[in-house]
Amino acid sequence: MPTEIELKLRFPPQFITAIKELPLLKDFSIAAPAEQDIFSIYFDTPDFILRKHRIALRTRKIGDQWLQTIKSNGTVQDGLHQHHEWEFPITADKPEFDQIQDQDLKIFFSDKKLRDSLRPVFTTDFHRTIYLIEPFEKVRLEFCLDTGKIIANNKTALICEVELELKTGNSQQLMEFSRLLQECCPFQLIPENSSKAVRGFDLLAE
């Protein structure tokens, strides 16, 4: 079962350029940074059945490609997010269910009434700069700088955060790099316990 481990850190938007210019990024990067414009649509039922079951379902457009992501059973502590994640390409912006391999999710989404009642509930629209870094031996991270917004019911919330996604290594090493990053920054990086999905639902409820 695939598990995603990532650390989210937010910061004031005036420091975006300062983040990109951190010597630490140049020292540890193993490839040129990649740029992506990412648009995501989050789905749920009118009575928020997915949220009640701690399941997040989104479709996401990166370039010309649509991807579908399902996340579940997450834990969060001090900005460190760990959850099961399944992602696969789809043909358009609507959810598809024939590629789901996890048996529990297959059963959950086999309910035709549930599938038919799914609707877009909010969107995110942000720019991502991705640095692939190796800060320690046998440790590889994606250092993602996300800037943009969450949109729900004509209301918006700012996205301005660093996501550190663990590719190889362990969560202790990820936290060790986070401490190093904090020491190198001339401003505070604040652990973010709320995912973009959680902030979208919060915005929806305002």
Domain limits, the chain: 3-205
Q: Which fold has domain 3-205?
A: Hypothetical Protein Pfu-838710-001 (2.40.320)
Calculate mean pLDDT across residues 111-132: 97
Which has more confidence, 37 or 80?
37
* pLDDT beyond 60 at 149: yes
Across all residues in the chain, what is the average pLDDT? Answer: 94
pLDDT at residue 1, as a whole number: 57
Residue 54's CB: how many other CB atoms inside 10 A? 11
Among candidates 168, 153, 158, 135, which has minimal Cα distance to 205? 153
Query: 15-31, pLDDT tens digit by residue?
Result: 999 999 999 999 999 99
Report pLDDT for 201: 95
pLDDT surpassing 60 at residue 154: yes
| CA of residue 195 relative to chain centroid, distance | 7
Alpha carbons within 13 angstroms on the beta-carbon side of residue 37 total 2
Per-residue DSSP letters for 64-128?
Answer: TEEEEEEEEEEEEETTEEEEEEEEEEESSSS---TT---HHHHHHTT-HHHHHH-EEEEEEEEEE
- The end-to-end CA distance of the chain, in Å, is 35
Q: Between β-strands 139-152 and 119-136, what pairing exists: parallel, antiparallel or unpaired?
A: antiparallel
Whether pTM exceeds 0.75:
yes
Q: pLDDT for 69-103, tens place per residue?
A: 999 978 888 888 999 999 999 999 999 999 998 99
Report, in angstroms and rounded to the nearest whole number, the Rg of the chain calculated over CA atoms. Answer: 17
Tokens of 153: 């019911």
